[in-house]
């Protein structure tokens, strides 16, 4: 029998997703194809809870945990949980290839976290190099994998990975995703509280990028709709969504950044990718991907997921005047972050 805790986790994961089709019970290992998921940075603050959540996911048959150190312990710990996924831990660069081989989905939370006073761009010089080396290994050992980028600044690390894959001749724009799901979760949570609607019923698309003003929640498209929110309410909700990461960094007072909520968001998006790979229809999530819906080469919007990754990048839909203004305001900063990533990849 499955425990009440595990059932509650599965329910929460389904509620977190914006997709219209969810996993059906009863779960059994024979219900789904074998899928290997690799987590790069699995011993870190995001990586450990993310490893736990993916061990609980019946879509995962093989869970590969990699970090520069500490991963054998994390792997041993989560391997004792009586769920389908077989777990292996790999530590050190010499084991990276083995960790990646045969992966269907690779999730990258590796890198240093934000600290008080730091912006995501302050992380750039450290995390950019980490992402470049990991992307190089992905191109070599599992070039066909779907890649979920969590390492910040996502607005720059996704373009870095794209350039690495292009140089290696393995780039498939349908399989590279910046994980912006946490922005969506925050928008849903904050909207539900303010509009006084059940949070599990709420959906709010979030577009643009994954830092500060580049994060643009489209509350005019929120469901269920609310007529009780003023323009000032919408402005405040937008600001809080944009500053959600900073809110957590400051609350932790130098002890870390958003790790638990980010792990949950990463697990939701990974499950959406796995469902898409398995042919489940109508899987739609917001993500930062190569895009032509604006003049920018990468942009976050709703994306339909399928057997090859991105099936369709969906348009923005109707925007309020406030959202139109926000869209124009974010473009310069997002363009700069994208170009910064491309420049780093070309010069290093």
41 is in an annotated binding site: yes
151 is in an annotated binding site: yes
Tokens of 172: 């498939």
Our answer to whether residue 231 is catalytic in this structure is no
186 is in an annotated binding site: yes
HSE at residue 220, side-chain half, CA atoms within 13 A, is 14
- Please check whether residue 345 is in contact with residue 163, taking contact to mean a CB–CB distance below 8 angstroms: yes
Contacts with 51 (C-beta within 8 Å, 6 or more apart), sequence order: 39, 42, 63, 65, 74, 75, 78, 87
Q: Is 4 exposed, middle or buried (0-12, 13-18, 19+ CB in 10 A)?
A: exposed
Strands 105-108 and 36-40: parallel
266 is in an annotated binding site: no
**Coil, strand, or helix at residue 295?**
coil
342 is in an annotated binding site: no
211 is in an annotated binding site: no
If one counts every other C-beta atom within 10 angstroms of the C-beta of residue 94, the result is 8
Overall residue count recorded for the chain in this entry: 348
| Residue appearing with tokens 């799901």 | 181
| Residue appearing with tokens 């219900």 | 31
In sequence order, what are the beta bridge partners of 206? 217
In sequence order, what are the beta bridge partners of 260? none
Sort residue 152 into left (φ over 0), alpha (ψ -120 to 50) or beta. beta
84 is in an annotated binding site: no
Instruction: Give the Å distances, CA to CA, from 323 to 17, 129, 232.
Output: 23, 34, 13
67 is in an annotated binding site: yes
The vertex-179 CA angle with 267 and 165, nearest 5°, equals 115
120 is in an annotated binding site: yes
46 is in an annotated binding site: yes
268 is in an annotated binding site: no
Cα-Cα end-to-end distance for the chain: 52
97 is in an annotated binding site: no
152 is in an annotated binding site: yes
345 is in an annotated binding site: no
Long-range contacts of 200-206 (CB under 8 A, 24+ apart): 200/15, 203/18, 205/18, 205/286, 205/301, 205/302, 205/317, 206/180, 206/241, 206/286, 206/300
Identify the active-site residue in 21, 80, 210, 231.
Answer: 210
Please report, in range form, the residues annotated as the binding site.
41-47, 67, 114, 120, 127, 150-152, 186, 262
Query: What residues are annotated to the active site?
Result: 210
Please report, in range form, the residues annotated as the binding site for substrate.
114, 120, 152, 186
Please report, in range form, the residues annotated as the binding site for NAD(+).
41-47, 67, 127, 150-152, 262
């Amino acid at each position: 029998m499955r425990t009440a805790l595990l059932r509650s986790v599965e329910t929460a994961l389904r509620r977190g997703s914006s997709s219209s089709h969810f996993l059906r019970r009863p779960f059994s290992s024979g219900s789904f194809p074998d899928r290997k998921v690799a987590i790069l940075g699995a011993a870190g603050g995001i990586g450990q809870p993310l490893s736990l959540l993916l061990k609980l996911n019946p879509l995962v048959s093989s869970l590969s945990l990699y970090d520069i150190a500490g991963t054998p312990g994390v792997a041993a710990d989560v391997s004792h949980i009586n769920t389908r996924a077989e777990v292996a831990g790999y530590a050190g660069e010499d084991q990276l290839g083995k960790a990646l081989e045969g992966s269907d989905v690779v999730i990258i939370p590796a890198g240093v976290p934000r600290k008080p006073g730091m912006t995501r761009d302050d992380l750039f010089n450290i995390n950019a190099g980490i992402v470049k080396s990991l992307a190089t290994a992905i191109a070599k050992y599992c070039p066909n994998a779907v890649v979920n980028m969590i390492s910040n600044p996502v607005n720059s690390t996704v373009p870095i990975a794209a350039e690495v894959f292009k140089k290696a001749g393995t780039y498939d724009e349908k399989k590279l995703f910046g994980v912006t799901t946490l922005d969506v979760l925050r928008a849903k949570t904050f909207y539900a509280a303010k509009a006084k609607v059940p949070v599990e019923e709420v959906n709010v698309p979030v577009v643009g990028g994954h830092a500060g003003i580049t994060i643009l929640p489209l509350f005019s498209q929120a469901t269920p709709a609310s007529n009780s929110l003023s323009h000032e309410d919408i402005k405040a909700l937008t600001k809080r969504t944009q500053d959600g990461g900073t809110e957590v960094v400051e609350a932790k007072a130098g002890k870390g950044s958003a790790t638990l909520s980010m792990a949950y968001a990463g697990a939701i998006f990974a499950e959406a990718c796995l469902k898409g790979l398995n042919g489940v229809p109508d899987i739609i999530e917001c993500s930062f991907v190569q895009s032509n819906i604006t003049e920018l080469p990468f942009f976050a919007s709703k994306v339909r997921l399928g057997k090859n990754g991105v099936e369709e990048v969906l348009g923005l839909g109707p925007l309020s005047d406030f959202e139109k203004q926000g869209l124009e305001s974010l473009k310069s900063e997002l363009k700069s972050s994208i170009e910064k990533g491309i420049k780093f990849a070309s010069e290093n």
